[in-house]
Copies of this chain bind each other. A is one copy, B any other.
Amino acid sequence: MAQSELRRNLITKRWVVIATERNRRPSDFHHDRVPTNKLKEDSHSCPFCPGNESLTPKTILEYSGGASWKTRIFPNKFLALAIEGNLNKKRDGIFQTMAGRGAHEVIVATPSHKTVYDLSNEEMTDALWSFKERILDLRKSLDEDGEPKIQYIIVFGNQGEAAGATKEHAHFQLVGLPVVPSASRIEFINCEEYWENENVCLFCELVKQEHREKSRIISENENFLSIADYAGRFPFETWILPKNHLPLFEDGTPEKMRSLAEAFTDIVSRLGKTLNYPPFNIYLRNTPIHERSHDRYYHFYLKIVPHLTEPAGFELGTEFHINPVIPEKAAEYLRESK
């Protein structure tokens, strides 16, 4: 009986169970699922299609191109966080509270009624560039006391209903938070500790080690490396990282953004082919927008996480995850899928 393995990397320091014995093939995850790149909604009533702009809040930013806009950003209709008001930080006994102040925007990535699976490199490059513009703009928002309103910005996307998408038309969301989320904070703490001990950036070390070991590399281009995470929590979880030291997403040049868009569409296409167009989530984890001390030892990155398994009591209780696909095998499947 093959024994399972516990793994972690020093960036998250979070243990993961790699269940070698349950080792699953891609077809084990096809289920009876309808491929999520197949369109179900009617484009006439789609609020993200050109002509239906009146169904959404007012435009914050748009790129024009030919017959309509190419990329369009507006506030989310169902705001999780709003930019107005005071933070009103309060403590009451062992509880703390503050107002949900921040930003919550929707980025429609294409005028065409199609899913993220069908975004072109050009459309994705524009979307990435719009993230950068919004981050640079939100970085400037200050409250009455001259304090930054937003401490951290996350950009994410959901493909397919099971992954939380309520609209199929390709879009991303940006949320500006008044605090740095603990998931990122833990990475900064670990990377800082490594920096202090070793005087090198842990992400630069990761890139070096992945190049040396090769087994987890799925693809790469001039600027970005796409790998299976050694201690990935989810099957076929894929990590896209800058190959050279680049802590801030918003420092990305047009050339870097093009490169990242290519890496992204490449991975999305491989996941689609290998796993029959599963639902997935993506997120962009970045350095905080004001704390610049982390720039020495952090790289922004994209994670693409297919939604293939459901977390249950074990995962909730321990925040350990059981990954039924060995990351090196996942990389192999995805590498061979083109």
Stretch at the interface among A45-53, A120-128, A151-159, A254-262: A151-159
Expressed in whole angstroms, the Cα–Cα distance for A285 and B82 within the complex equals 35
Once the chains bind, are B6 and A98 in contact (CB under 8 Å)? yes
Closest residue of B by beta carbon distance from A208: B93
- For this chain, the copies found in one complex come to 2
Stretch at the interface among A64-72, A176-184, A269-277: A176-184
- Interface status of A224 (Cβ within 8 A of chain B): no
Closest residue of B by beta carbon distance from A319: B183
Known: A305-B316, A312-B281. A78 touches B164 (CB 8 A): no
Known: A318-B177, A319-B182. A158 touches B313 (CB 8 A): yes
- Interface status of A27 (Cβ within 8 A of chain B): no
Once the chains bind, are A283 and B11 in contact (CB under 8 Å)? no
- Interface status of A322 (Cβ within 8 A of chain B): yes
Selected from B162, B184, B305, the residue in CB contact (under 8 A) with A310 is B162
- Kindly list the 5 A-B residue pairs having the minimum CB-CB distance in the complex, ordered from nearest: A164-B312, A283-B317, A156-B313, A4-B100, A183-B319
Interface size class of A (residues with CB under 8 A): 35 or more
A227 CB, min distance to chain B CBs, angstroms: 12
**Chain A at the B interface: mostly helix, strand, loop or mixed?**
mixed
Within 8 Å CB of A230, what residues of B? 95
Once the chains bind, are A178 and B97 in contact (CB under 8 Å)? no
Would you list which residues of chain A between 1 and 50 have a CB under 8 Å from chain B? 1, 3-11, 13-15, 17-19, 21-22
Within 8 Å CB of A320, what residues of B? 177, 181, 183
Once the chains bind, are A313 and B8 in contact (CB under 8 Å)? no
Once the chains bind, are B311 and A164 in contact (CB under 8 Å)? yes
Once the chains bind, are B82 and A3 in contact (CB under 8 Å)? yes
Within 8 Å CB of A178, what residues of B? 6
- Interface status of A336 (Cβ within 8 A of chain B): no
Encode A316-328 as 1/0 by CB contact (under 8 A) with B.
Answer: 1111101000000
